[in-house]
Amino acid sequence: MKLAMIGFGQAGGKIVDKFLEYDARTGSGIVQSAVAVNTAEADLMGLENIPKSNRVLIGRARVKGHGVGADNELGAEIAEEDIGEIQGAIDSIPVHEIDAFLVVAGLGGGTGSGGSPVLAKHLKRIYTEPVYGLGILPGGDEGGIYTLNAARSFQTFVREVDNLLVFDNDAWRKTGESVEGGYEEINDEIVRRFGVLFGAGEISADDDVAESVVDSSEIINTLEGGGVSTVGYDAEAVEEYDSGGLLSRFKGGNKDDMETTNTTNRINSIVRKAALGRLTLPCEIEGTERALLVVSGPPEHLNRKGIEKGRGWLEDETGSMEVRGGDYPLDEPSVAAAVLLSGVHDVPRIKELQQVAIEAQENIDEIQQESEENLEALVEDDEDELDPLF
């Protein structure tokens, strides 16, 4: 499916930048347009693939290009004030050619956290195309203010988009890694998962004809109805070495029954590992409202039976009657399954995030009150004998 991607804040911009790189590498054609919005000029300058004309610096008058720190209320205010400037960049998007908008942001910071729900609300008011969010939750070690920002932004963002796809940095962080190096890998994971998913609806006429192609309307229907979504993914290499070098096992050969059974079983097991392995937002999959299964790989390694079995298994596991599925032929040496679980409810991580956020909020209020009292005790003389100048 074709998306207009808008990266809000540093994380949002970097991830959209990476989507463009993915698009160029794989030819998936999912990014119809890419825009980056930020209050920090340096972050915009650090982008590599988003055209300079599509980089929008907002809040110039208020923060002079230096960002909003982690103040997401200020981020939201600036986005409202400068929505015209953002719209200016969106005006260059051929909206009739896109299937949806995707607003991407890290929810723990200031600019993206505050600005992305404001932008989503604005887009929904103006356009009829669906507006999806891709929200990144902070790592648990980032501290109270980031958690509080994320919890508040999450509540607001879910309400303003047609569906909020969530990626939890906390579930994916590795200990002992530099933050930057860690994000590189995490961003690759984000782009791979959502890339396979959104790429599924983009099969051109000269591609290998899929047995049961996933259409962009199926992605849209799965996301319709709103709520929160998570994505599972798993892949398995399907080439093996022999004396002649790297060869695709089935290329050129006839598929016999044995091979068909292998193909079916492989797909089935990859689907299970995708749904039961680490999700972008870890949660209980039982009770999921709608799901979409996309199986990608070389056409010789895909079959309808495997996908049907995987789909049936997903129906049983989720208890949903709305599980769609299809294939996505790709010239890659692996078979992969991406599972979109839309409308998930049983998410312990969100409850934990909210609890930590509430504690952080109380702590901040307490410190603020104490600080006022302490300052007064310091500045005022004990007997109140002195008068200020004015």
Q: Which residues are annotated as a binding site for GTP?
A: 10-14, 110-112, 142, 169, 187
CA atoms within 13 A on the CB side of 88: 12
Under the criterion CB under 6 A, does residue 170 sit at the interface with ligand GDP?
Answer: no
Report helix, strand or coil for 49. coil
What's 58's DSSP letter? -
Under the criterion CB under 6 A, does residue 111 sit at the interface with ligand GDP?
Answer: yes
* Measured distance CA(162)–CA(130) in Å, rounded: 6
Binding site residues, as ranges?
10-14, 110-112, 142, 169, 187
User: Which residues does residue 66 pair with via DSSP β-bridges, in sequence order?
Assistant: 40
Read out DSSP for 155-195?
A: HHHHHHSSEEEEEEHHHH--TTS-HHHHHHHHHHHHHHHHH
Under the criterion CB under 6 A, does residue 280 sit at the interface with ligand GDP?
Answer: no
Read out DSSP for 196-243?
A: HHHHTT---TTSPPPSSBPPHHHHHHHHTT-SEEEEEEEEEE-EEEET
Under the criterion CB under 6 A, does residue 138 sit at the interface with ligand GDP?
Answer: yes
Under the criterion CB under 6 A, does residue 193 sit at the interface with ligand GDP?
Answer: no
Under the criterion CB under 6 A, does residue 325 sit at the interface with ligand GDP?
Answer: no
Closer CB to ligand GDP, residue 186 or residue 291? 186
Near ligand GDP by CB under 6 A, which window of 153-161, 180-188, 198-206, 344-352? 180-188
CB 68 within 8 A of CB 105: no
CB 78 within 8 A of CB 115: yes
Under the criterion CB under 6 A, does residue 186 sit at the interface with ligand GDP?
Answer: yes
Q: How far is the CB of 242 from ligand GDP (least distance, A)?
A: 40
Under the criterion CB under 6 A, does residue 187 sit at the interface with ligand GDP?
Answer: yes
Binder of ligand GDP out of 108, 199, 325, 343 (CB under 6 A) = 108
Under the criterion CB under 6 A, does residue 342 sit at the interface with ligand GDP?
Answer: no
User: Which residues does residue 148 pair with via DSSP β-bridges, in sequence order?
Assistant: none
Look at strands 322-329 and 290-297 and give their pairing: parallel
Match 């910071």 to its residue by tokens. Answer: 109
Q: How far is the CB of 71 from ligand GDP (least distance, A)?
A: 9
Read out DSSP for 335-388?
A: EEEEEEEES----HHHHHHHHHHHHHHHHHHHHHHHHHHHHHHHHS-TT-----
Binder of ligand GDP out of 7, 59, 106, 232 (CB under 6 A) = 106
Q: How far is the CB of 67 from ligand GDP (least distance, A)?
A: 6
Residue 67, phi then psi, degrees to nearest 5? 85, 175
CB 310 within 8 A of CB 295: yes
Binder of ligand GDP out of 1, 14, 163, 307 (CB under 6 A) = 14
Under the criterion CB under 6 A, does residue 109 sit at the interface with ligand GDP?
Answer: yes
Under the criterion CB under 6 A, does residue 169 sit at the interface with ligand GDP?
Answer: yes
Residues in the chain: 390
Under the criterion CB under 6 A, does residue 112 sit at the interface with ligand GDP?
Answer: yes
What dihedral do alpha carbons 178, 181, 183, 188 form, nearest 10°?
A: -160
Q: How far is the CB of 35 from ligand GDP (least distance, A)?
A: 15
Binder of ligand GDP out of 20, 37, 120, 136 (CB under 6 A) = 136
Under the criterion CB under 6 A, does residue 101 sit at the interface with ligand GDP?
Answer: no
Q: How far is the CB of 127 from ligand GDP (least distance, A)?
A: 23
Q: How far is the CB of 339 from ligand GDP (least distance, A)?
A: 20
Binder of ligand GDP out of 110, 306, 326, 329 (CB under 6 A) = 110
* Measured distance CA(148)–CA(170) in Å, rounded: 15
Under the criterion CB under 6 A, does residue 318 sit at the interface with ligand GDP?
Answer: no
What does the binding site for ligand GDP look like in residue numbers (CB under 6 A)? Answer: 9-11, 14, 106, 108-113, 136, 138-139, 142, 146, 169, 183, 186-187
